[in-house]
Amino acid sequence: MNPFNILLRVFLRPTSVLFLTCLFAFSLRSAGAEDIAVPDTPAGKHFAAWLTAFNTGKRDTLKRFVEEHWTYEKPQFVEEAADRDVYLFNSTHGLILRKVEAIPGGIKAIVQSKLTEFWIEVKMYADSKPPQKVVGFGLYFVDPPTDLVSHEKLTDEEVRGKLEALITRLTASDAFSGTILLAKDGKPLYTRAAGLASRAWNARNRPDTQFILASITKMFTAVAIMQLVEQGKLSYSDTVGKIIPDYSNKDVAAKVTIHHLLSHTSGLTNSQRSTEKAGTSAQNSPRTVKDSVALFVNDPLNFEPGSKFDYSNDGFVLLGAIIEKVSGEDYYDYIRAHIFKPAGMLRSNFYDLDTDPPNLATGYMDGPNHTRLSNIFVVGAKGSPAGGAYSTVGDLLKFEQALRNHVLLKASSLELAWTPKSGVREGGRQYGYGFEISQVNGVRAIGHSGGWFGITNQFEMYPELGYTVVILTNIDDEPSAITRKLREWLVQGR
């Protein structure tokens, strides 16, 4: 997966020293703004040199910067750091400095992508001892800084125009392939499809193209569990052992509850290991929830349940097994009958992918030399309760409406799902029961992201404003840049 799908953080400790002889004062020009003075400190000098090198987009220049300015132990770090910066440059087309200040041991800068205009916080630290080389560096996606953005409320028409311009730029740069929908009160304001669903057949993405949802699927699993709680068949305090008495992992059976599983506080492992155990061919890829559970059932807990948050795909696979045990139905049949059907989601399903279902987008991973590689060998034969359903932007809007109109859950259950169960995590997100919750300028944004090799998706609802954002893509380029710009525009001036 691309290294900027999530926050990039690199922190190193000094291990060797080389003397820096060039000391100078400087400023950097921000496009369309006055010169911004960078602190005349060791970290400030390193940052200015890095930003200048970065905006060339040339790997040799970036590699030379690392060699001359960084403290590092392993020679391969130079190559890896240069590769990361080249990837980020290709994703941003360069960075514009908007704000910079000194912090203890380093500097903190706010920069903006030239391509997507999303905001990034950069931190760089220098050693306090000569030759004061770089010892720490971090890049973080951040919400729009209140002192750098407009506070004038935008009309829906203005938001639509800005979104169209952004998607046009991204499409022209081969940085967007998929479908996007912006709706208000259940009615689409903007819908667009771009790129290819199949490069082999030169088939274009369409608004009704079905995309693999990855972890967006977790919302369906959580809603199914909450439906069973509403029916009195489950309690959030029930342990795994109470529901599945013959569950072979006695530690999990005795300690882990429904609450723990829904809130990612169970201590169960993550499915990266399960994927490795399963292999990648359709022949040995699990097709039932039972087979998926078998891949991790005997793994020990990573920590005491309830003691901390740790995102676990295996926890949601186990929730699928609980749905089967309590409802008496196959997990996939339950989701079709009790979520997709009542919500009117006629283009949503779980598929055996080796049957070659029609109108599905193939995922494409980033390959060498700007190539795209099919993800056919890494997605498995069938999705699981943790990820792998297929759907469209239109069907996910129907899902949002079914939630909002209490077709799937009572209002009390929905509010429980949308109440944070964990502390604020990186990116300002919290987690409820199967839903991610963010606060943007005091406005709630609720939904879920989804990503795997060649898959990057975003689904967000703004309950107080009535907006719904659905972005489904079949390439590695992270759509969170689009989501963040929409957050900025939708809550601006509120």
Q: What is the chain's length?
A: 494
Q: At what angle do helices 480-491 and 156-172 cross, to 10 degrees?
A: 160
The pairs formed by 169-173 with CB atoms below 8 angstroms and a separation of 24 or more are 169/115, 169/116, 170/115, 170/116, 170/477, 170/482, 171/195, 173/93, 173/115
- In the chain, which residues fall in CATH 3.40.710.10? 169-491
- In the chain, which residues fall in CATH 3.10.450? 8-141
**What is the chain's mean pLDDT, rounded?**
88
Could you please state the CATH topology (level 3) that the domain comprising 8-141 is classified under: Nuclear Transport Factor 2; Chain: A, (3.10.450)
Write the pLDDT tens digit of every residue in 66-117. 999 999 888 899 999 999 999 889 889 999 999 999 999 999 999 999 998 8
247-256, 274-283, 445-454: the lowest-pLDDT one: 274-283
- Joined together, the tokens standing for residue 130 give 């000569």
Highest mean pLDDT, choosing among 215-229, 429-443, 447-461: 215-229
User: Do 144 and 119 touch, CB atoms closer than 8 A?
Assistant: yes
Cis-peptide, bond into residue 131, ω within 30° of zero: yes
Q: How far is CA 397 from the centre of its chain?
A: 19
Closest CA to 382 of 348, 353, 349, 359: 353
Write the pLDDT tens digit of every residue in 285-332. 789 999 999 999 999 999 999 999 999 999 999 999 999 999 999 999
Categorize the per-residue pLDDT at 217 as very low, low, confident or very high, splitting at 50, 70 and 90. Answer: very high
**Which residues partner with 136 through β-bridges?**
11, 125
CATH, range 169-491:
3.40.710.10
Give the list of residues 6+ apart from residue 364 with CB closer than 8 angstroms, or none. Answer: 177, 199, 372, 373, 374, 375, 454, 474, 475, 476
3-7, 144-148, 213-217, 452-456: the lowest-pLDDT one: 3-7
Task: Read off the pTM.
Answer: 0.84
Closest CA to 361 of 473, 217, 456, 285: 473
